[in-house]
Structure 1
Amino acid sequence: MAAVRLTPNGVTATLAGDLDLKPVVQVLDIKSISVNGPPGAAPRFRILVSDGTATTSTLLASQMCDLARSGLVRRGAIVQLTQYIVNNVNGRRAVVILNMEVLIPECDIIGNPVVAPESGVSNPNFMKVNQSNGVPQIGSMQGNTINSGITHTGNDPVIQRLMGGNSSNLVVRPSDSARAFQPTVQPPYRPAPNYKNHGTIMKNEAPARIIPISQLNPYQGRFAIKARVTAKGEIRRYHNAKGDGKVFSFDLLDSDGGEIRVTCFNALVDRFYEAVEVGKVYVVSRGNLKPAKKGYNHLNCEWEMFLENQSTVEFCPDEDCSIPAQRFSFTTIDRIEDSENNAILDVIGVVTSVSPTTTIQRKNGMETQKRAITLKDMSGRSVEVTMWGDFCNREGSQLQQMVESGVFPVLAVKAGKVNDYSGKSVGTISSSQLLINPDLAEAHCLRQWFDCGGRDASTQSISRDFTPAASRNEIRKTVSQIKDDGLGQGDKPDWVTVKAALTFLKTDSFCYTACPNMIGDRQCNKKVTKSDSGNWLCDKCNQEFPECDYRYLLQLQIQDHTGTTWATAFQESGQDLLGCSARDLYMFKENDDPRFSETLIQCLHQDYLLRLKVKEETYGDDRRIKNTVAKVERINPVVESRFLLDGISRLLASY
């Protein structure tokens, strides 16, 4: 249990009338006390509290009695008094607790406290209660009757606070034998000499208690959670009616298995992004809880925490070994087939193939990388897992090297997203994690199964139109099949992979002059022409530039054993084919450099895997099929042999 610190001199200062202190004290005793009032009136409770040095008896207001009845407040509990009043009763001070917060339900008794002066604990008649409409009335007692010596009406502000606004029927009548007590209007507080400046626990600076994530709710007041960062998203920028902004999120896992997402906006991104590291343990406090949006948050928690200016994220240098590094709930591949589209799940399997990275253009015009792998498990099914962005170069490159060297690793995918387009597949999202050969019982079981015969076990893919050497859309076709199958004649283009050789390349116009202007993160790349001033003019940007860029626009002929066709290759594909930039090749040609011919010759009559976009286009009145090279890959004999053997195995299995 974490060290407990009670507010020094908290009892003395409270009795002195400091209503802003909010002391942290310990409950030494709790008793139900008699109540005179309407029939069936609920009992009241008196609790003896201590600051470790002094004790005093206090009375719970009616609205707080449920804490005592439920047992949440009991002997040894550490509580913080957040709202209370102090009355003068027969020359003694009496504390009525209007609101408090339970910090620790049970704890050993701290210190050797003694009765505080003017606490009234030794008075046997102190704090017997008469009740009218549930309102505590404190005074000197004769039997069970209050003799306060003063009449309170429903307009008394203190009584209104105790009554929650309902005090219209309250009248406490004076008794001739009673000594009047003072009204509850508090005198100005003069701090006790031995209390001033006693450390950071003063005022409301008591440390927030650490609670499990599973017990979080928005009504707890101050709290803290101790958890490990299991995932950290990239900084995303957005624009709305309030202007531009940025945001990032990270996921936390505590020792009880509870998970929650924490989100930071704008200035808090600068404050916490570099401080938060995946795998480290932190104590996070003063966050604002809001209902989680399940469309964007896959964690099994109904709340999401939003950090604010007063929030803290404190690193724990001695990491808690009781907090696991990650929590998985694996779904077997055969069950993925029945999962809903966009479902978030964990999957584990043996990697049997890895495709090369391809570059695609998103709807927003930005380019991103994509790579596909195949996972198989003991359910007799295999699935395509698509990696996006940085996953392609990090884990993707490592997986490709392992598979090409004959090592088939086990891969665990945390938080993959199900896609049901053309079968079922799993894709990475910003909060996904890929663990290669993890130290998990499921991974060891898969490893043993694969090495003891699972490698040769036949499996059925739940991702249709999938080949091991390519992603789901990279269907292997021959040149003749492009025409025979009527590819490219639909509303959307067809994407196919062709194994073919480059037999001819037009050299009269292999590149064009492009605009070098940067528009945001992208280059303009529109065609520019020379103006009368000798500069390069871009009609789109309406600007002139002293220098232009050169970009490939290659017209090439490809051929396989079934036929020949024409294709167009732009910048990235052209550079992959020729091995040099368009500017360099242009300069070779302008300067009659022999390297121009050498560059062209070395790429001719070589086999490539060409990723083609096939689409019918109209030129005047003529409609023709246009093949655009989206990706170029040189043939890897190991991967290609494995692809052919797998095709033979599938063919034999179909008979």
Structure 2
Amino acid sequence: MARLTPNGVAAALAGDTNLKPVVQIVELRGVNVNGVGATRGERFRAVVSDGATTSPALFAAQLGDHARSGLLRRSSIVQLIEYVINDVRARRLIVILNLEVLVPECEIIGNPIILPETGFPNPNPTRVEQFNGAPQYGLMSGNSSNTTTRPTDNISMFQHSIAGNSNFATRPSDRTPAIQPTVQPSYRPEPNYKNHGTIMKNEAPARIIPISALNPYQGRWAIKARVTAKGDIRRYHNAKGDGKVFSFDLLDCDGGEIRVTCFNALLDRFYEVVEVGKVYVVSRGNLRPAQKTYNHLNNEWEILLENGSTVDLCPDEDSSIPTQRFDFRPISEIEDAQNNAILDIIGVVTSVNPCTTIQRKNGMETQKRTMNLKDMSGRSVELTMWGDFCNREGSQLQEMVERGFFPVLAVKAGKVSDFSGKSVGTISSSQLFINPDSDEARRLRQWFDGGGRDASTQSISRDFTPAASRNEVRKTVAQIKDEGLGMGDKPDWVTVKASVIFFKNESFCYTSCPNMIGDRQCSKKVTKGITGNWTCDRCNKEFEECDYRYLLQLQIQDHSGTTWVTAFQEAGQELLGCSARELNALKEREDPRFADTMLACLFQDYLLRLKIKEESYGDERRVKNTVVKVDKVDPSGESKFLLDLISRSSALH
């Protein structure tokens, strides 16, 4: 038997959130909030009853699994542990943050009546219904002259009438023993929040709630959380003119995360205020669906600050709020991750390459540095640092590795790339933590120092330096055909040690479109028209000058046989040491340096990184080998690879 709290709905709607009323769910259904469907997390709304009156209610996102699993259903009896009251379209709504299911299913109790639009009981009802001698306070049908108490009286009446109330629930099949609701301390705001701005008349500071409880139905709210990441100022231009924007990420003591965004004047107001690692109370913002293209946090909402928003620093450090939240993925799982996926990884840094300056396709220069991470999953991955990461954390890591100390590195919000295998790169919102104080880091350190340093690992990435060749997938030319590489749904990525023995030098490049589309060059083949200009069918434009890009057909050979491969722009430049435009100019001038350049790379040993995939040419299907990376063979690196291969073969026997 479970007793419903008399006048529980009215008391809750009157604003007494310290009550923990026992109510029954008389209606329950899933809804789409602001057009956001099940793919973003379905919400559930309900009608709750105390046996006499009812109120609409909305379940917080974290309670959705209760309804989806069937634990929570129509006719369930629950105790409301945490809830807030919101005004929506001139009526009041109970937003349930936490509850306890007392009876999963039973008969509907009493004759519950829906409240008026205000959400309060009618102060002058026409009838008072009684069940088993206990008065029920609420709006009932009928024409009796009896009256009931007002909402303020109902709250105090609860203390006197609960003992006499005989509302109870039974399962359809049998009666259940009495269930006493669990009394838990209410959620109270921290006392150190102060609203330094002007407080409107009859308005107190908003009640602090967990991030997970935020929903668009709330009129006033406040969250207390730590800033875990702060983005740079980005400038944009659209139909409304020029603007600027920045975002920062928040983490609260319950592990909830959410992104906050500020535009223009609000950026000027809050950018210098927000510091990574500090705890703030944020209130009064607009909740909108998270833009998952740019927002990787596990939350269906993000906050857009408005003119009335406040971001107040908490003077006292709150140790209950963690400094960062990770969701680490083993490196072996990155092999199956989708391109552009955002994830957290942790591993031991085994090698760091020097920092280089590269030119992006938009003409801008940036810094780039690569390194390799390995973990206990038996895989290693290439991490690419961009921009400031190269000279900040990158220089520190290179110095540590050169001294013979291999640090543990945790990457928050790395971006997966599937170009030439799988790799992880930094983005503007990425964070790097060297030797973090965490259980995962301690386990990795113990494993690495206890033998993991010498454990064989397989790289899931392409290798930029011969020093990393010990982790690559090495094949011979004969094995490409014998093992049927490239015949599956996905391409195979292998490294072949071979020599170039022949070029097709009559068609080593093609004329390409120089037009920039965003930050990328079109690069489609162009043809010369009767006007003398170059025409691109894709861009539908004419150009006085065209560009030139490599399209090399090479024959390579190792001790097992020969095969044909294709090398495009980047690989061609690595092989020949000059651009396609420069080499074409030598050919047109019949400069003898053209032949010298082509002959210089013949019969030299290279490590050729190949992408092998079956493709269709008309009605014919054949395997295509594409060179994606070219390295000259380094005797030291090759010796290490062969010694590792011998040691692994010996261990198997």
Change (3 A) 1:272 1:251: farther
Q: Distance in 2 between matches of 1:168 and 1:279?
A: 63
Alignment correspondent of 2:588 = 590
SS of corresponding position for 1:557:
strand
Structure 1 residues 167, 443: closer, same or farther in 2, change over 3 A? Answer: same
Whether 2:14 is the aligned partner of 1:64: answer yes
Distance 1:601 1:340 in 2: 42
The residue that corresponds to 2:532 in the other structure is: 534
**2:378 corresponds to which residue?**
382
Deviations 1:478-503, CA, capped at 9 Å, x for gaps: 12222333334456543322122334
Q: Secondary structure at the match of 2:646?
A: helix
Q: Partner amino acid for 1:526?
A: K
Matches of residues 99-114 of structure 1 in structure 2 within 5 Å? Answer: none
Q: Which residue identity lines up with residue 375 of structure 2 in the other structure?
A: K
Aligned partner of 1:480 in structure 2 is 478
2:607 aligns with 609
Contact map agreement 2:575 2:601 (CA 8 A) in 1: yes
User: What is residue 304 of structure 2 aligned with on the other side?
Assistant: 307
CA-to-aligned-CA distance 1:20-52 (integer Å, 9 cap, x gap)? xxxxxxxxxxxxxxxxxxxx9979xxxxxxxxx
Give the structure 2 partner of residue 525 of structure 1: 523
The corresponding residue for 1:436 is 434
Query: How many Å separate the matches in 2 of 1:639 and 1:527?
Result: 39
Query: What is residue 223 of structure 1 aligned with on the other side?
Result: 221
1:203 to 186, 201, 204: 201
Give me the CA root mean square deviation: 6.0
- Report the AA paired with residue 566 of structure 2: T
Instruction: Quote the offset at 1:572 in angstroms.
Output: 1.5
Residue by residue, what CA displacement relative to the aligned partner does 1:90-124 show, whole Å, maximum 9, x if unpaired? xxxxxxxx9999xxxxxxxxxxxxxxxxxxxxxxx
In the alignment, is the contact (CA less than 8 A) between 2:373 and 2:383 conserved in 1?
no
Is the contact between residue 64 and residue 99 of structure 1 (CA under 8 Å) also seen in structure 2? no
Alignment check: 8 A CA contact 2:259 2:303 kept? yes
Separation in structure 1 between the aligned mates of residue 270 and residue 590 of structure 2, nearest angstrom: 54
Q: Percent identity?
A: 57
Change (3 A) 1:591 1:273: farther
CA distance in structure 1 between the partners assigned to 2:432 and 2:509 by the alignment: 40
Aligned pair count reads 470
Q: CA deviation at 1:625?
A: 4.2
The verdict on how the C-alpha distance between 1:41 and 1:375 changes in structure 2, with shifts beyond 3 A counting, is closer
| 1:270-324 Cα deviation digits (max 9, x unpaired) | 88997777555544222355899999988677x7343254463637497947454
Q: Measure the CA separation in 2 of the matches of 1:42 and 1:453.
A: 67
User: What corresponds to 1:260 in structure 2?
Assistant: 257
Q: 1:533 to 1:222 in 2, by over 3 A?
A: same
**Helix, strand or coil for the counterpart of 2:641?**
helix
- Structure 1: distance between partners of 2:271 and 2:469: 37
Q: Deviations over 1:531-561 (max 9, x none)?
A: 2322222344343211111111222232333
Change over 3 Å in CA distance of 1:409–1:526 after alignment to 2: same
Q: Which amino acid aligns with 2:576?
A: L
Structure 1 length normalisation: TM-score? Answer: 0.54
Matches of 2:207 and 2:343 in 1, distance apart? 33
Provide the C-alpha distance between the structure 1 equivalents of 2:624 and 2:121, rounded to a whole number of angstroms: 86
Of 334, 349, 352, which aligns to 1:351?
349
Distance 1:216 1:570 in 2: 51
| 1:228-263 Cα deviation digits (max 9, x unpaired) | 3324689999xxxxxxx9999753123x35322226
**Offset of 1:374 from its aligned partner?**
4.4
Equivalent-residue separation in structure 2 for 1:63 and 1:449 (angstroms): 57
Question: Which residue matches 2:249?
Answer: 251
Larger mean Cα displacement after TM superposition, 319-328 or 271-280 = 271-280
Shift in CA distance, 289/444, structure 1 to aligned 2, threshold 3 Å:
same
Q: Secondary structure at the match of 1:508?
A: helix
Q: Which runs of 5+ in 2 are unaligned?
A: 22-83, 95-119, 127-136, 148-196, 236-242, 359-367
- Partners of 2:491 and 2:431 in 1: how far apart? 32
Give the alignment's TM-score, normalised by structure 2: 0.54
Matches within 5 A, 1:434-583: 434-440=432-438, 442-444=440-442, 446-447=444-445, 450-451=448-449, 453-456=451-454, 458=455, 469=468, 475-490=473-488, 493-583=491-581
The SS at the match of 1:475 is: coil
Superposed displacement of residue 517, structure 1: 2.1
Q: Which residue does the alignment assign to 2:52?
A: none
Distance 1:444-1:544 versus aligned 2 partners, 3 A rule: same
Separation in 1, partners of 2:125, 2:426? 65
Work out the CA distance in 1 between the residues paired with 2:444 and 2:250. Answer: 28
Cα distance in 1 for partners of 2:211, 2:577 equals 55
What stretches of structure 1 of length at least 5 have no aligned partner?
1-39, 44-59, 72-79, 84-97, 102-132, 137-151, 155-161, 173-198, 238-244, 360-368
- SS, match of residue 505 in structure 2: coil
1: CA distance between counterparts of 2:593 and 2:275? 49
Counterparts of 1:471 and 1:231, CA distance in 2: 36
**Higher gyration radius (CA):** 1
After superposition, the Cα gap between the structure-2 partners of 1:541 and 1:547, relative to the gap in structure 1 and judged at 3 Å, is same
* Counterpart in the other structure of 1:147: none
Distance 1:585 1:418 in 2: 35
> Where does residue 155 of structure 2 map in the other structure?
none
Structure 2 counterpart SS, 1:499: strand
CA distance in 1, matches of 2:227, 2:633: 42
* Secondary structure, counterpart of 1:285 in structure 2: strand
Per-residue deviation at 1:223?
2.5
In 2, Cα distance between equivalents of 1:326 and 1:308: 23
Contact 2:346 2:410 in 1 (8 A): yes
From 638, 649, 652, the equivalent of 1:651 is 649
